[in-house]
Amino acid sequence: MALTEELVAGAARHVAGGTSVEYQGASIDLAPPWRRVTMAELVAEKLPQFDFFALREADGGSDAASGGEGLAAARAAAQAAGVAGAGEAPSLGELLALCFEELCEPELVQPTFVLDHPTEVSPLAKPHRTRPGVTERLELSSFAVGRRRAHASRLHLGCRSGSSSLRSAASSPTHFRS
């Protein structure tokens, strides 16, 4: 994340003469550090009754749709906030992502790293080491003026970094040829 911040800020200084830029009528400050916040925290700012982890525990800690009290409460809160399709969301994680996209994403103007996406909407990202229900995925939601700029995740490749199979594949001169 720090490398991305420095690359973007450096490019802005080189091109625009500083890290404050105007884009589509909005003033954007590209100076590091940028905000780092989880998707669940952003949604909770808009819907305080949507505490992803507490609601998940109310449903037995399951990633999958359980039709429990937590999902029902989250659907009700999202519907009351006017989130389209909230009543049909099949799981708490998918509802969290839907609420984020509808309530939070359009308002993110300043560069923001959105962390810890639900497992249901990030099937290739590695599950979070300490937080059940989310992945180690981030988006550079310098949704600057509502636009996603980049995303990254620890992919679940079935081998650990530094393993001999990964090292040998990466060092092979033919590995990345088309």
**Location of each CATH 3.30.930.10 domain in the chain:** 34-157
The CA distance from 120 to 138, in Å, is: 15
CB 99 within 8 A of CB 71: no
The CATH superfamily assigned to 34-157 is Bira Bifunctional Protein; Domain 2 (3.30.930.10)
Q: Which two tokens stand for residue 44?
A: 């909770």
Which is more confidently placed, 95 or 139? 95
Q: 147 vs 7, 89, 112, 113, 173, CA distance in Å?
A: 18, 24, 11, 13, 37
In this structure, of 38-52, 111-125, 130-144, the range with the lowest mean pLDDT score is 130-144
Q: Which two tokens stand for residue 86?
A: 């909230």
Which is more confidently placed, 161 or 68? 68
Taking the whole predicted model, whether its pTM rises above 0.95 is answered as no
The CA distance from 121 to 39, in Å, is: 12
CB 28 within 8 A of CB 20: yes
Tens digit of pLDDT for each residue in 37-70? Answer: 999 999 999 999 999 988 888 877 765 555 688 8
What band does 150 get if pLDDT is binned at 50, 70 and 90?
low
From 150, 156, 160, select the one nearest 136 (Cα to Cα): 156
